[in-house]
Amino acid sequence: MQNNLRQYVPYCAALALSLFIATVVLWPIPFQSNEYLVGHPGNDSWNHVWGYWWVYDSLMNSEWPIFVDLLAFPKGGTLYFIDTIQAIISLPIQILFGPAVAFNLIIWFQLAFCGFSAWLLSWKVSGSWKTSLIALVLYELSPHLLGQIYNGISETVCAGWFPLTLWALVSVMTKPNIKNSCLLIFCSVFCILTSWYYGLFTAIAASIYLICAAWKEGWFYQWKLIFKYLICSTIGILVLVLPLFMTFQVSLGVDDALVKRDPEFVEQSLLNHNITDVAAFFSLSKQPSPDLFALYGEQLIIVIYLGWIGIFLACYSILKARQNRIIFPWIWIGIVFFLFSLGPYLYFNGGYVLLFEKRLPLPFLVLYKAVPIFDRISHPFRFVMGVQLALAILSAEGLRRFLHRKNEHMKMIFVSAFSAAIYLEYVLFSPAHLPVPVASAKIPEVYNHIEEGAVLDLPISLPNLERAVYVWYQTKHGEPVPWSLNDPMPKTLLDNKFTKMLLLLEATRAHHLPPALPELDMVVGVRALYRQGYRYIVMHEDLYPTFKKTQVGEVLDVFIGQPQIYGNHRLYELPEI
């Protein structure tokens, strides 16, 4: 009985460590999950938590979530929410506790799952569960992963399925049977559906692993049996994944798509925004490069720092066992993913590297031009997770070799010391934020007093991602709003004379209203809003400078009427025409 219990000690230790790290990183989540949302308040958390609520609301109304009439009012649009699978998984939590708790706990679980899955894979590769804990720490604390949580991009936290699927692949190769084949199907399907990026990463890493295994140790495996089960697994994966993948692809190409990935958008993102600076992989700095706040005023950060402790351990592993068949595939996985993560052109220390006055092309550009699925990839720096996984596996093997003569007690001391050092390195010398910032999940009281009809929130001119807090407020009032997910400014608001005037007022620095306003145009604009279906305007006074709050308030009072006041919020009800 005692021996049976001992076999679970490694799993319990790894699970406890992964949950502890996730709690430290996301503090005060999960203990105050109903009060906060994970991620910087100026980033993408609002859009993603709204998506959780929308999927829940659609399914509760017996509808598949593919068309949104609550955004981009009055037309709505087609949307495949990128986090649909996680939103479905979170349904029981949403039913009991609401979308904020569901969103936070899913991220907390997925972050812990990243570490646990990397540990499982490392243990299978190296054979040492104790030194594999360093792989858990390196992967779960990956600065890129922490940066994505900071950005509020929840689907990128599903990185745990990436190593777990490779673990299932190694299981099929070492023991080709129907049980492991089904396990590979299960892991692959969740890996692909929770993040298209990680599905692609897994396919690339698995291909490299198979090629290296055949090259270095072709004699070791039962290849005929392996390929039999791999083909069966591939068929099963395609049957389960293709319907949703095709739905996603169609949703991007239709005329009313709320999220588009047309070639021009992707190319501009690659060249001007989602840039990979080679220096940022290795620079000991809290300053991200490129600095999106300095360039565009955005709070989003691009973090690709790898960490020198992990690099040194990986190099030690390579030097000590470069001919070892265990580490050979991981060296190549690290190299290939590093090359892909550089993006289409070489960018170093704040600028593109030029050769004969032209940007220096890289391997990613070839695939971007030649392979259909690559032309939708607007964030090549996410390939760094493949590099991070390779470093984690190589580091665990390096530490195993370094400690092979030490007793079990000393091994745990060294693992603990290295883990603490890695944490401190990431806190002090990477752009990642530890713990990750949180935003208040509190929804103002004013929305309790909204009945039926579309809602316009003011100010209009907030930056796109900051303004997304309005769609979070929609989870309370449930009425249509003009905002979309990626639309800088809804055209319907630019075309309306009243809202266009409000936008101009917000944009000017004048401390007083102009001597005369286009009264007729503004009256016509208010009536047009009513005819479209708008019934309420909510003015958020705390989002305006004092002088601007006074100006906008005066205009609204004159053309709409006196508001109901709830704290820092004014509720205007549009007059019936």
Phi/psi class of residue 276: alpha, beta or left (left: φ > 0; alpha: ψ in -120 to 50)? beta
| pLDDT of 213 above 70 | yes
Better-predicted residue by pLDDT, 367 or 337: 337
In this predicted structure, what is the pLDDT of residue 487?
Answer: 73
Q: How many CB atoms lie within 10 A of CB 252?
A: 16
Instruction: Report d(CA 69, CA 76) in Å as an integer.
Output: 4
**Which residues are within 8 A (CB) of 37 and not within 5 positions of it... i.e. 6 or more apart?**
45, 46, 49, 100, 103, 104, 152, 438, 439, 440, 441, 472
List residues bridging with 224 in a β-sheet: none
CB 4 within 8 A of CB 413: no
Instruction: Report d(CA 568, CA 571) in Å as an integer.
Output: 10
- Label residue 53 by pLDDT band (50, 70, 90): very high
| pLDDT of 225 above 70 | yes
- Label residue 3 by pLDDT band (50, 70, 90): low
Mean pLDDT across 45-74? 95
Mean pLDDT across 364-369? 88
Give the tens place of pLDDT for each residue, 58-68.
999 999 999 99
Q: Give percent above pLDDT 90 in the chain.
A: 77
**Which residues are within 8 A (CB) of 561 and not within 5 positions of it... i.e. 6 or more apart?**
572, 573, 575
Q: How far is CA 472 from the centre of its chain?
A: 17
Instruction: Report d(CA 86, CA 429) in Å as an integer.
Output: 32
Q: Give percent above pLDDT 70 in the chain.
A: 99
Q: Model's pTM, two decimal places?
A: 0.94
In this predicted structure, what is the pLDDT of residue 248?
Answer: 92
Give the tens place of pLDDT for each residue, 396-430.
999 999 988 888 889 899 999 999 999 999 999 99
- Label residue 432 by pLDDT band (50, 70, 90): very high
In this predicted structure, what is the pLDDT of residue 295?
Answer: 87
In this predicted structure, what is the pLDDT of residue 355?
Answer: 86
Mean pLDDT across 177-198? 97
Helices 546-559, 497-507: crossing angle, 10 deg rounding: 160
SS (H, E, C) 26-87: HCCCCCCCCCEEECCCCCCHHHHHHHHHHHHHHHHCCCCCCEECCCCCCCCEECCCCCHHHH
Name the 3-class secondary structure at 109. helix
Closest CA to 17 of 113, 144, 151: 113
| pLDDT of 267 above 90 | no
Mean pLDDT across 97-126? 97
- The token pair at 399 is 């530490």
In this predicted structure, what is the pLDDT of residue 252?
Answer: 87
List residues bridging with 458 in a β-sheet: 539
Instruction: Report d(CA 563, CA 537) in Å as an integer.
Output: 9
In this predicted structure, what is the pLDDT of residue 400?
Answer: 92
In this predicted structure, what is the pLDDT of residue 86?
Answer: 96
Give the β-pairing of 454-458 and 534-540. parallel
| pLDDT of 73 above 90 | yes
CB 163 within 8 A of CB 41: no
Tokens 């030690």 found at? 316
Domain boundaries, the chain: 2-284+301-429, 445-573
Helix (H) or strand (E) holding 347: strand 347-348
pLDDT, the chain, mean:
93
In this predicted structure, what is the pLDDT of residue 301?
Answer: 94
- Label residue 322 by pLDDT band (50, 70, 90): low
| pLDDT of 2 above 70 | no
Name the 3-class secondary structure at 245. helix
Name the 3-class secondary structure at 516. coil
In this predicted structure, what is the pLDDT of residue 323?
Answer: 62
- Label residue 1 by pLDDT band (50, 70, 90): low
Give the tens place of pLDDT for each residue, 546-570.
999 999 999 999 999 999 999 999 9
Amino acid at 460: I
Mean pLDDT across 222-242? 95
